[in-house]
Structure 1
Amino acid sequence: MHRYVPHSEISGDTHAPLARPSLRVEDAPLLRGRGRFVDDIALPGLLHASFVRSPVAHARLNGIDASAARALPGVRAVLTYRDLRPVIGHDRIPLALPVAAIRQHVDPSWLVEKEMCFVGEPVAVVIAENRATAEDAANLVVLDYEELPAVTDPVAALVAGAPKARLDCADNLVAQWELKYGDAERAFAGAAHRIAQRFRIHKGGGHSIETRAVLARYDEAEDLLTVWDGTQMPHKAKRVIVDTLGLVESQVRVIAPNVGGGFGPKNPFYPEELVVPAVARLLGAPVKWIEDRRESFTATNHEREQDWDLEAAIDADGKLLAVRGKVHHDHGSATPSGLSTAQNSATNFIGPYVLPAINIAFVVCLTNFTPATSSRGAGRPQGTYVMERLLDRIAERLSLPRDEVRRRNLIGPDQMPYVTEVVTRDGLPMTYDSGDYPESQRRALETARWSDFPARQEAARRKGRFIGLGLSNYVEGTGRGPFESVSVRIGPSGKIVVATGATDQGQGTHTMLAQLAAEAFGVTADRVQVVAGDTAASPLGHGAYASRQAVTAGNALHIASCLVADKAKQVASAMLEVSTDDLELADGEVRVRGVPGMKKSLGEIAHALSGVAGFSLPAGETPGLAASNDFIPPAITYTNGTHVCEVEIDPDTGHIRLLRYIVVHDCGRMISPMMVEGQVHGAVAHGVGATLYEWMRYDASGQPQTVTLADYMLPTSDTMPPIEIHHMESPTPLNPLGVKGAAESGTIGAPAAIVSAIEDALKPLGVRINDLPVTPERLLALIQSAQR
């Protein structure tokens, strides 16, 4: 369900709306089974790779016996670090980012040389004529190792005398910094109330339907290494491959074909993305690797543990004065993506509220787990969860309604743009560019009939039912730079071809770009061809992360399309011998207004600009009907919204049922409301999973305990409530289209709203929830503890 509120109703903006109904252009081949994923690509002479992986969390590797594996019929090679080091120019994958807070950069190994640092780390690779043989051979490889103590807790790991997660690091403290401004100590000295809370937050992975996948082929005749990679960032993959294999850019092409979901874990560059191309080049044969689901649990990066120990200072009216404390972040065994997840948690903690002072120390710890990088939300749900939980505690302490304590602390629309004292990792002040946060909350509460709920709740309690209502507010920084590239070209055929560094993992990037191009040239979307995720089509690009592609690629396309449209009118003006003021562009034609017969199609104009040998181009124009743009966003643009959730709890079993879910969402001007709703729906599902089900469990030795989808719970259709989405639009002034990102916001607000509702339902029992996830076992234990 949804209600669309035009942006003009919110802001008074009079630009033409972008919100037009449009079916997704990607869907027809996918629904007919004609998609082209990495595993659909079959090449002559194809070989298959299987990786030998560390069976323990921490060990010194003494030797590898691959004799039995090499003797197996159908095996072409078993390769170790020593075998591949002559063709790979770095000991580790060079992924270090210029982050000042990092004390020691820990680039991941592409294959283990001496020390295994997490279960699932690749140690060797087997190449065989088919996948089954490769897997059988991998099981025959014998590793000689000396097990070492495993670091499995980010708080205990920093205690004096704790074992080291990596022998090549001085200690386990990989980074530290302070989120600090204002005078927190003075605020605490004069506060009417202080509230101290500790939160232990777990967050899992992306778990896309398609696991990671790489296929590489080296063509000696063309001296070209082509890599098909199920990645969110093919241009980054190309840069790393070029660097590590000692090649030049013209020798490497990376293609992200159809990709079955990304959600963040397909953003980093992994060892397999380097080893497979290196082996294909070494053996002179195409090599494919498809990750199995167990590998997806143990070798694909995911988020994990954060420990927040905070104290809030509040005045007598319930307004925040300051927050101070310490956060421990489990970063796993390497730093393949800098500190982005932990930094996002820090900045998103402030949320849509006025917070005069803050002093929180963030410490990032190495452990013997898979490296921790972003999954949908990328640290923001954790920061939002903690702030929203603190506000619920403040409401309880001061006997204030939960909505009222938020209302008293929300940033008002008259304060926009709101410049905080936080500097983001881009080096710019964190500035909320537009939005009406109190109105978002008001609409959500009105839709939920918040004021009527106490009576309904009391009636349910008399019947022995425990129902509750919770809310949360959030912001999301979107449209992160540094840039995205788009080129628009129209040939004599009249087909509009859009090439971009943006990528698609199912979120509708092709549709978004086709819709914008179609709007610019007055055609239907089927007359636009979008080429995305191919480094040969767009030499520059960054791809999918941080809810950025509508902002960056969308505006790059808009600007390039305007340039092409203007050029088409200039050329048509010369060809038709009329003023450009008399021309209009519609249905793929440049027409003279009011004179139906006087027109030139875009194909005819492009043909004229292709030139004829020995003749001049029309009107002295430059060749080709094309333009490119690299859109550089001046700053991050902030999406916001409010979630309200209604739940029912069975106190005898701890079972949690979500009855209703409401989202009021503001992502600026919408290009496609239908796709925005799809993104919000999916993100809420991720948030539900992180709150109630998903838990990547390890034992004390670092052995993963949940390595199948039978052990690791995901939300299913029967556990999801009806989701009602209501749109607001506050266009951002930071880009020509006025758009903001939308892909992760549903995840950010969900945990706090759901937990607030659970506590509300169990208020008579005095249950208090700080830690995530809230599984039935955990909730039942809290209920039983509260009843003692």
Structure 2
Amino acid sequence: MTATAGPEIGRARRRKEDARLITGATRWTDNLQLPGMLHLAVLRSPFAHARILSVDVGAAVAMPGVLTVLTGADLADEQGSLPCAWPITEDMLAPPAPSLAVDEVNFAGEAVALVVARSAAEAHDALAAIDVEYEDLPVVLDLTAATADDSALVHPDLGTNKSATWVFDSAAAGTGTDVDAAIAAAAEDGVVVERVFRQQRLIPAFLEPRSVVVDPGPGSATLWSATQVPHILRWMLSAVLGIPEHKLRVIAPDVGGGFGGKLQVTPEEVLTLLVARRLGKPVKWTETRTESMLCAHHGRDQLQKITVSARRDGTVTGLKVDLLADMGAYLRLVTPGVPILGAFMFNAIYKFAAYRFTCTNVFTNKTPTDAYRGAGRPEATFAIERIMDELAAELGVDPLELRRKNWIRHEEFPFTTVAGLTYDSGDYEAATARAVELFGYDALRAEQAGRRAAGDPVQLGIGISTYTEMCGLAPSRVLGALRYGAGGWEHAAIRMLPTGKVEVVTGTSPHGQGHETAWSQIVADRLGVPFEDVEVLHGDTQVAHRGMDSYGSRSLAVGGTAVVLAADKVLAKARTVAAHLLECSADDVEFTAGTFAVRGTSTTMSLAEVVVAAHVAHNLPDGVEPGLDADATFDPDNFSYPHGTHLCATEVDTETGRVTIRSYVCVDDVGRVVNPLIVEGQVHGGLAQGIAQALYEEAVHDEGGTLTTATLADYLVPSAVDLPTFTTDRTETPADSNPLGVKGVGEAGTIASTPAVVNAIVDALRHRGVRDVEMPCTPMRVWKALQGKEDVPVALGGVHGSIDARGGAA
């Protein structure tokens, strides 16, 4: 146990995980093969809303290799209802959510029957032999229409399509003044701008399809799942199915991405567990890509009516948000809470005096929505950054100068916002100044003016997004006040092995973030041990018995801090033992780089020697137990607030609608950086998903509620060749909410990039009368936005098209 030269924190180490990932030595759930394992396949409804009149399984049962075929009626008494852990209001309406539909289907893709066979092929073949008779019911798809008094109902028993209405009002909360008064005053002697923005429906489209394997065991069951939340999953499965929690082990092996899409208790996890216990044999279910697109939960899907008021000098005075949020057909694990997270972020970095947020959650006959990278924060950032550009245009000022006039200055931190949050640290001036420098802002504005004057058919647009986000998804008391069913704390344990090696057990559950590497770096620095001597264990509820898992950019800020606290406990006990062995006071013992020393002397003892002494326990102080193992739980007293400035330059062909991203610069502040290489990867991935929302991706349903983008040929996920080169940099203002000074980074790129791109597109076309282009900003939509404007010529071509490296999609 010899300490490494130089600190580990801040070092751009390659990830420990990558060796197995790139050599095919991964432990994906679908790789698991158990003796006698059976395979499960699911029959799904082709209708978005229909009554199930009958299900004939006779022909399917007779198919080769089939052991059993089950319907919702067969499992009705034991399947329970899928959990919703976020009842945002006391009167929230939440219909029962069966894993297997019994009497009625409410979205296309809902499970109606299952087949268990000796092979996956035989199970899938038998699905075609199941005969289901349906009776069509009215389909509800449009958000606005769904709220009308005469709308058809997704769940007639509820009597409405409105699940809940949640309101935050700064005047009522005591965090600000009355927004109606602010808007009325601005209407008399200021400026009021109102816009409606649409957040299209998105699909997480994670790389690894969902998969579940269950070994029922003789006395307890083990469930492997491609999940982000093994601890929450175990808890919820026990609660839903009545299985004693100590008789259920959940393991998340290597997980190939999630983006919130695997923050769920899925119907298939419930069904696979029930079937395996019923048959007494191991059972596997793995979805197809189309099943993943069709049935795994979707994200976003909101209508945002935004009203902003300001004085004539550009000082913002009020912000009103009226939101319709599409829940889909059912409330999944955190579905109702996703738009509510955005409630605290619409005000962003700006000093509004008055604010009101009203959100109505609405049922439709579509796949349920839930968390998707950013979960409420991207939606809020998009709206506020778009409306700030619209306000700047109304006032005739540079949108960057409007932001500077209204943002929180660095000397004003900590700052309590109109939404009631206290931002602990930040320096928006520094991040913006660096971004402007890297971007060449003034030169691009000059070029833009020249192109406009020349009537160039390819116009240049400049988009700005100055964002912050609340992440870490803690403290628990705040989550409780928001009626969230889980806590926000995290747990870690450190095992000091007698050979000098270290095992770190974490309650976080990585699925691509690099926890094994970052946690090893933290422990190596804290304990003065080699990076290579640290092993990180996670994702198994029998090994990591406590945890709240990974989502919401919480892992490092909360879980990493728990690791630090556990390491500090190890050192505190080791210091006591070392003092005893060195025959001195613990106050005289110093610790540096893995070695204890008596202050003012040359007497030393390595941590490895203390570990062995504590393990054999031949000579310990009175009252000290053998071993140096320690664990800790961390529950922060505030969120963390990363921020940054993203600048995007687009070239828009006014004749074809094609959008090309010419330049993209982002300067983010994520606090202290543990591993710059991992941070850079997270930023690049986030940018890709945010740009994808702006230009490419959209889940589209036809008039009958059928998803028409259920393959990757139809749902346009961009690849590296479809994206620009990113220029990235960082500023650093450490967080005050944790001893590492870290802030979240996993969602920042996604949150900031979408409005930067759309603002750039609108900026390129604003002088032609365009105020908005609905996302995704495909060539067709851009071209159509230009039509109807008096000075817009008829386009000559490029109306249709598919994904293209030069920008946009039709």
Q: Settle same-fold status: TM greater than 0.5.
A: yes
- By how many angstroms is 1:375 displaced? 0.7
Q: Secondary structure at the match of 1:638?
A: coil
The answer as to 2:640 corresponding to 1:637 is yes
Aligned match of 2:271: 275
Give the partner amino acid of 1:510: E
Q: Contact conserved, 2:88 with 2:337, CA < 8 A, in 1?
A: no
Give the partner amino acid of 1:765: R
The answer as to 2:496 corresponding to 1:490 is yes
Give the partner amino acid of 1:193: V
Aligned match of 1:567: 573
* Alignment map for 1:394-433 (pairs within 5 Å): 394-422=391-419, 429-433=420-424
Give the partner amino acid of 2:163: V
Aligned match of 2:386: 389
- By how many angstroms is 1:515 displaced? 1.0
Alpha-carbon distance in 2 for matches of 1:345, 1:134: 42
Aligned match of 2:532: 526
Aligned match of 2:70: 79
Alpha-carbon distance in 1 for matches of 2:536, 2:774: 44
Aligned match of 2:51: 60
Q: Contact conserved, 2:351 with 2:418, CA < 8 A, in 1?
A: no
The answer as to 2:136 corresponding to 1:147 is yes
Q: Contact conserved, 1:658 with 1:719, CA < 8 A, in 2?
A: no
* Alignment map for 1:465-504 (pairs within 5 Å): 465-481=458-474, 482-504=488-510
Of 241, 250, 254, the residue aligned with 1:245 is 241
Of 417, 437, 440, the residue aligned with 1:446 is 437
Aligned match of 2:721: 718
Alpha-carbon distance in 2 for matches of 1:778, 1:24: 41
Decide which moves more: 187-196 or 267-276.
187-196
Identity among equivalent pairs (%): 37
Aligned match of 1:372: 369
Of 651, 663, 668, the residue aligned with 1:665 is 668
Alpha-carbon distance in 1 for matches of 2:25, 2:588: 45
The answer as to 2:338 corresponding to 1:335 is no
Alpha-carbon distance in 2 for matches of 1:703, 1:520: 54
Deviations 1:527-555 (A, max 9, x none): 11111111111221111111000011111
The answer as to 2:351 corresponding to 1:354 is yes
Q: Contact conserved, 1:381 with 1:749, CA < 8 A, in 2?
A: yes
Alpha carbons of structure 1 residues 439 and 267: separation in structure 2 relative to 1, 3 Å? same
Give the partner amino acid of 2:25: R
Superposed CA RMSD: 2.0
Deviations 1:622-643 (A, max 9, x none): 1221111110011212111110
Decide which moves more: 712-721 or 178-187.
178-187
- By how many angstroms is 1:54 displaced? 1.3
The answer as to 2:38 corresponding to 1:38 is no
Number of corresponding residues: 760
Normalised TM-score (structure 2): 0.90
Q: Secondary structure at the match of 2:721?
A: coil
Alpha carbons of structure 1 residues 579 and 196: separation in structure 2 relative to 1, 3 Å? same
Q: Contact conserved, 1:108 with 1:271, CA < 8 A, in 2?
A: no
The answer as to 2:126 corresponding to 1:119 is no
Give the partner amino acid of 1:126: V
Q: Contact conserved, 1:196 with 1:312, CA < 8 A, in 2?
A: yes
- By how many angstroms is 1:458 displaced? 4.1
* Alignment map for 1:764-779 (pairs within 5 Å): 764-779=767-782
Alpha-carbon distance in 2 for matches of 1:107, 1:476: 33
Aligned match of 2:483: none
Give the partner amino acid of 1:368: N
Alpha-carbon distance in 2 for matches of 1:601, 1:392: 57
Alpha-carbon distance in 2 for matches of 1:532, 1:594: 42
Alpha-carbon distance in 1 for matches of 2:740, 2:91: 36
Q: Contact conserved, 2:347 with 2:418, CA < 8 A, in 1?
A: no
Alpha-carbon distance in 2 for matches of 1:596, 1:121: 72
Alpha-carbon distance in 2 for matches of 1:306, 1:288: 35
Aligned match of 1:24: 15
The answer as to 2:749 corresponding to 1:749 is no
Deviations 1:485-515 (A, max 9, x none): 1011112122211111101110111112111
Give the partner amino acid of 2:763: D
Q: Secondary structure at the match of 2:243?
A: coil
Q: Contact conserved, 1:666 with 1:729, CA < 8 A, in 2?
A: yes
Alpha-carbon distance in 1 for matches of 2:8, 2:430: 21
Alpha-carbon distance in 2 for matches of 1:719, 1:158: 38
* Alignment map for 1:138-177 (pairs within 5 Å): 138-177=127-166
Alpha-carbon distance in 2 for matches of 1:720, 1:418: 36
- By how many angstroms is 1:410 displaced? 0.7
Q: Contact conserved, 2:306 with 2:387, CA < 8 A, in 1?
A: no
Alpha-carbon distance in 1 for matches of 2:773, 2:539: 41
Deviations 1:594-635 (A, max 9, x none): 988853452x433433346xx664554112211111100112
Aligned match of 2:179: 184
The answer as to 2:674 corresponding to 1:679 is no
Alpha-carbon distance in 2 for matches of 1:583, 1:71: 76
Task: Name structure 1 gaps, 5 residues minimum.
Answer: 1-15, 423-428
Give the partner amino acid of 1:474: Y
Deviations 1:448-500 (A, max 9, x none): 12122222234556465422221111111111122011011112122211111
Task: Name structure 2 gaps, 5 residues minimum.
Answer: 1-6, 171-176, 475-487, 794-810
Aligned match of 2:482: none
Alpha-carbon distance in 2 for matches of 1:141, 1:493: 59
Alpha-carbon distance in 1 for matches of 2:122, 2:598: 68
Alpha-carbon distance in 2 for matches of 1:304, 1:163: 23
Alpha carbons of structure 1 residues 524 and 168: separation in structure 2 relative to 1, 3 Å? farther
Give the partner amino acid of 1:680: V
Alpha-carbon distance in 1 for matches of 2:629, 2:162: 51
* Alignment map for 1:78-97 (pairs within 5 Å): 78-88=69-79, 90=80, 92-97=81-86
Deviations 1:134-170 (A, max 9, x none): 1111121111221101110111001111000123322
Of 97, 104, 120, the residue aligned with 1:131 is 120
Q: Secondary structure at the match of 1:756?
A: helix
Decide which moves more: 395-404 or 584-593.
584-593
Q: Contact conserved, 1:522 with 1:585, CA < 8 A, in 2?
A: no
Aligned match of 1:321: 317
- By how many angstroms is 1:723 displaced? 1.0
The answer as to 2:60 corresponding to 1:69 is yes
- By how many angstroms is 1:588 displaced? 4.9
Alpha-carbon distance in 1 for matches of 2:566, 2:472: 18
Alpha-carbon distance in 1 for matches of 2:8, 2:502: 22
Alpha-carbon distance in 2 for matches of 1:476, 1:701: 37
Alpha-carbon distance in 2 for matches of 1:305, 1:129: 40
Alpha-carbon distance in 2 for matches of 1:571, 1:113: 63
Q: Contact conserved, 2:83 with 2:265, CA < 8 A, in 1?
A: no
Q: Contact conserved, 1:81 with 1:113, CA < 8 A, in 2?
A: yes
Give the partner amino acid of 2:336: L
- By how many angstroms is 1:680 displaced? 0.8
Aligned match of 2:210: 212
Alpha-carbon distance in 1 for matches of 2:22, 2:294: 31
Alpha-carbon distance in 1 for matches of 2:595, 2:32: 39
Deviations 1:105-134 (A, max 9, x none): 235211111110101111121111111111
Q: Contact conserved, 1:592 with 1:599, CA < 8 A, in 2?
A: no
Of 720, 726, 730, the residue aligned with 1:727 is 730
Alpha-carbon distance in 2 for matches of 1:167, 1:123: 20
Q: Contact conserved, 2:353 with 2:418, CA < 8 A, in 1?
A: no
Deviations 1:693-750 (A, max 9, x none): 0010001111111110000101211121111111111112111111111100111111
